[in-house]
Amino acid sequence: MSKGINTQAVLAMRGAGYYSERTAGARHVINDAGTMVIEALAQTPQTPRLRIADYGAADGGTSREMWDMVIGHHRANGDNRQIEMLYTDLASNDFSTLFRMMQGMQGDPGHAYQSRYENVFVHGCGTGFHRQLMADASLNLGFSATAMHYVSVKPMEIPTHLHAACADPESRAAYAQQAAQDWEHILLARAAELIVGGRFICLNFGIDEQGRYLGNTGGQHMFDHFHKYWLGLFEDGSITADEYKRASFAQYYRTMDEFCAPFNDPDSAVRKAGLKLKSCHSKLTKCPYEAAFLAAGGVGGTMSNIDYANSLIPTMRSWSETVFRTALEGRDEDDINQIVNRFYDAYRDDVAANPSGHAMDYVHIILDIEKTA
Ligand SMILES: C[S@@+](CC[C@H](N)C(=O)[O-])C[C@H]1O[C@@H](n2cnc3c(N)ncnc32)[C@H](O)[C@@H]1O
């Protein structure tokens, strides 16, 4: 691994089910990919048993309905092969919520496929996906949603913003280089794990052909708002210069060209490892919280502005809070809670004052990759 600021011990979605309960958009994105997963699995070799991996699964709640659908489809079609489901995430992830979800002890038991179907074995792996996580040639299908934009280390703190997508050229180049190296490691690890004919489907946050990315799709710019409130806390003396600087997201949104680069070069290690890109396209998923607000008539309709703000901010908070908490490390817990609450309250109050354009649309680059040799 390259030198840089290691964030993996602390990088985690908010636990105890908070993440998946407030992340309807991520669930929609995954559910929409269900058909693609079923079709890909149908084209993989008929091995005696099926092994599937969900990389960067968080608490498992957002993909559970899709896996329930995929497994249900197999069983309904008479495919009774044993299925091993391997959920991967970082060691800091809340795996116990994940295991409870699959056994129907938390969340909607209707999708607790482990208890609904025979011969489905659920496992967890707490090692990051930049490394090989299972034995050579043992994986039928790998899947990952909204996870591989996390870089393995932060190459530097971004001095004037929070996110590489909005950073100065030097910081952006450093994150781009880290992300390119990480993408190669991710792909080489999957090349080792997959059986010949196996598939890797990933739905990654990225930058589309129109330059759009998460929270920046034409309306209010989410990361600029994050930055504004964080800078405000520094300017009013609530946080130190160091804390201001430490809140760089360990993320990089690759462009389509960056995702495709290792596949376009016939001499790349990825091509030599037998991986082939079958398809790559971008997809915009509208913010479900804004959609509900607009369906209720928008401003002046049946949902109040504050109710809209109170539905939107938690979905942003579910994945971003860890960055701000980590930046405040060293303070006592009450202090951290108070500062972080003020940060999100400022955002909520802005949305409530004028909801127009505030939303969190998702932009994904969807790749279907095959291990050919
Ligand atoms: C935004 S959540 C997405 C969760 C779920 N896949 C979804 O689509 O709703 C990103 C997840 O990626 C995980 N993650 C980040 N870096 C990782 C790494 N190097 N290895 C494994 N998981 C990682 C995070 O811990 C988090 O659970």
Instruction: Kindly provide the residue ranges of all beta strands, DSSP E only, lying in the chain, ordered along the sequence.
Output: 5-6, 50-55, 83-88, 120-125, 139-145, 153-154, 194-207, 254-255, 275-285, 362-371
Structure tokens at 365: 């680059």
Nearest CA to ligand 1 atom 25: 12
* pLDDT tens sequence across 93-108: 999 999 999 999 988 8
| Ligand 1 centroid distance, CA of 150 (Å) | 8
- Regarding the beta carbon of 128 and ligand 1, being less than 6 Å apart is answered yes
Interatomic CA distance for residues 87 and 122, integer angstroms = 8
| Ligand 1 centroid distance, CA of 300 (Å) | 37
Mutation test residue for ligand 1: of 89, 125, 153, 204, the one with most atoms within 8 Å of CB: 89
Task: Looking at the CA of residue 58, tell me the nearest atom of ligand 1.
Answer: 27
Average pLDDT, the chain: 94
Interatomic CA distance for residues 302 and 307, integer angstroms = 10
pLDDT at 88 over 70: yes
pLDDT at 11 over 80: no
Structure tokens at 34: 């269900």
Structure tokens at 139: 């994986």
pLDDT at 90 over 60: yes
pLDDT at 334 over 50: yes
| Ligand 1 centroid distance, CA of 301 (Å) | 36
Distances (CA, A) of 223 to 214, 220, 238, 266, 320: 9, 9, 20, 37, 10
* pLDDT tens sequence across 165-190: 999 999 999 999 999 999 999 999 99
Cβ 37 vs Cβ 372: under 8 Å: no
pLDDT (mean) for 24-42? 94
pLDDT of residue 146: 96
Interatomic CA distance for residues 155 and 250, integer angstroms = 9
- Which sign does the torsion angle of CA 357, 359, 360, 364 carry? negative
| Ligand 1 centroid distance, CA of 229 (Å) | 25
| Ligand 1 centroid distance, CA of 73 (Å) | 26
pLDDT (mean) for 118-140? 97
* pLDDT tens sequence across 231-249: 999 999 999 999 999 999 9
Structure tokens at 229: 């409130």
Phi-psi region of 146 (alpha: psi -120 to 50; beta: other; left: phi over 0): left
pLDDT of residue 233: 97
Q: What is the percent of the chain where pLDDT is above 90?
A: 90
Does residue 35 sit in helix, strand or coil? helix
pTM surpassing 0.75?
yes
pLDDT of residue 127: 97
Structure tokens at 111: 């999708």
pLDDT (mean) for 133-154? 97
**CATH code linked to domain 5-215+249-286+360-371:** 3.40.50.150
pLDDT of residue 305: 97
